[in-house]
Amino acid sequence: MTIDLTGSVAWVTGGASGIGRAIVGTLAGAGARVVSLDIGHRDAGETDGIATVALDVRDPAAVATVTADLAARGLEPDVLVNDAGITRDGVVWKLSDADWDAVLDVNLGGAFRMTRAVAPFMRARRRGAIVNIASINGLRGKFGQANYAASKGGLIAFTRAVAKELARERVRVNAVAPGFIDTPMTRALPEPVLAQARAEAVLGRLGDPADIAHAVLFLVSPLASHITGQVLVVDGGQTI
């Protein structure tokens, strides 16, 4: 059985790097036209069904403008993947207001602003799928990541609330909670942290961005047509 997304349009935030980049490639590989939205995209363009657009998901005006521009180009979204995320780690007694606000603003606020922007299109067409990239640390908590864990736990609660709000129009909203995935975000971490993640993962390896992209592909596909408001943990067994 293959998943064919031909004829659908998918927007992916954080699409320039790591997990987001893998999601962009996987959805495009399944036939979707994909719009990669990332603060790091410098030039707007479109090649092989993948359009790149510079967007800072913290900026409500920019989100509104980009949404209107894409809709005017015939790129109304059938799929939204909220992947853009950052870390600013520190134990809570040393955490600055700036680092608290920055993480909440991108990881949770960004997903809110993007979801608010696409919801009218999906509601009007009575179809759509949204996937929020959360984290196992939003479920279990993590030493040194009170801000990040709060943002991802909030994103999971947001997922469930919005799933209820959009269900009447058949729009599904789910989350994927990755464990430790080998990306630029995690490559900078000290070796003992990597070793701990490897030891926790009963499948014996760190995750690959493709592991998350495949879960997203399933959740946005017709195979998941009766799944909404759920959190799919993809962590090699790290949290069992």
Query: Can you give the binding site for ligand NAP, defined by CB under 6 A?
Result: 13-14, 16-20, 38-40, 55-58, 83-86, 106-107, 110, 133, 135, 178, 180-181, 183-186
Q: How far is the CB of 61 from ligand NAP (least distance, A)?
A: 14
| Side-chain-side CA neighbours of residue 25 (13 Å) | 12
Q: How far is the CB of 239 from ligand NAP (least distance, A)?
A: 12
Q: Catalytic residue among 11, 112, 148, 158, which?
A: 148
Q: How far is the CB of 195 from ligand NAP (least distance, A)?
A: 14
Q: Which is nearer to ligand NAP, 85 or 128 (CB)?
A: 85
Contact 13, 35 (CB under 8 A): no
**151-188 as b/e, with b when 16 or more CB fall inside 10 Å?**
bbbbbbebbeebbeebeeeebbbbbbbbbbbbbeebee
| Token pair for 38 | 């990332």
Q: Which is nearer to ligand NAP, 104 or 127 (CB)?
A: 104
Rg (CA), the chain: 17
Q: How far is the CB of 179 from ligand NAP (least distance, A)?
A: 7
Helices and strands (DSSP H and E) totals, the chain: 9, 8
| Token pair for 37 | 């939205």
Q: How far is the CB of 228 from ligand NAP (least distance, A)?
A: 20
**200-238 as b/e, with b when 16 or more CB fall inside 10 Å?**
bbeeeebbebebbbbbbbbbbbeebeeebbbbbbbbbeb
**Residue type for position 164:** K
Q: Which is nearer to ligand NAP, 36 or 228 (CB)?
A: 36
- Tell me whether residue 179 is one of the annotated catalytic residues: no
Q: Which is nearer to ligand NAP, 14 or 128 (CB)?
A: 14
DSSP 3-state helix, strand, coil percentages of the chain (rounded to 5)?
Answer: 50, 20, 35
Q: Which is nearer to ligand NAP, 18 or 77 (CB)?
A: 18
> Hey, which residues are catalytic here?
148
